[in-house]
């Protein structure tokens, strides 16, 4: 969905592995600072990134833009439902199961 687009990412180094997580809307920064990297705090990976340039610490998005995340998620769901309906149906079923378990406790 974001192929060819410039996005802010955070380079993560952990246990000898290095990867990039999306921080366009501040959620990557939240994961590593407040979520302490926990799997309970989600993230979006950036696969096959091309590094355009490094930014200074004061340029890192540190505030979560919840509305932008919601709109991006809706656009992705629409694209998935139209282009990969079977995979979309499976992911929706998994989301419902996760929400059921969250609400059960």
Tens place of pLDDT per residue across the chain (105 aa): 677 888 999 999 889 998 899 999 999 999 999 988 887 888 899 988 888 899 999 999 999 999 999 999 999 999 999 999 999 999 999 989 988 988 886
Q: What's the pLDDT score for residue 105?
A: 67
In the Cβ-directed half-sphere of 6, how many Cα atoms lie within 13 Å?
Answer: 4
Report yes or no on whether pTM surpasses 0.75. Answer: yes
Contact 61, 26 (CB under 8 A): yes
Residue positions counted in the chain? 105
| pLDDT of res. 31 | 92
How many Cα atoms occupy the beta-carbon half-sphere of 89 within 13 Å?
Answer: 3
The pLDDT of residue 1: 65
């Amino acid at each position: 969905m974001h192929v060819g687009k410039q996005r802010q990412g955070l380079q993560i180094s952990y246990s000898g592995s290095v990867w990039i997580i999306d921080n366009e809307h501040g959620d990557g920064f939240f994961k590593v600072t407040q979520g302490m990297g926990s799997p309970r705090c989600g993230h979006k990976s950036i696969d096959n990134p091309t590094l355009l340039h490094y930014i200074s610490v004061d340029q890192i998005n540190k505030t979560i833009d919840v509305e932008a995340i919601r709109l991006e998620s809706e656009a992705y769901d629409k694209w998935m439902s139209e282009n990969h309906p079977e995979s979309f149906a499976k992911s929706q079923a998994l989301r419902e199961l996760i929400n059921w378990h969250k609400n059960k406790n």
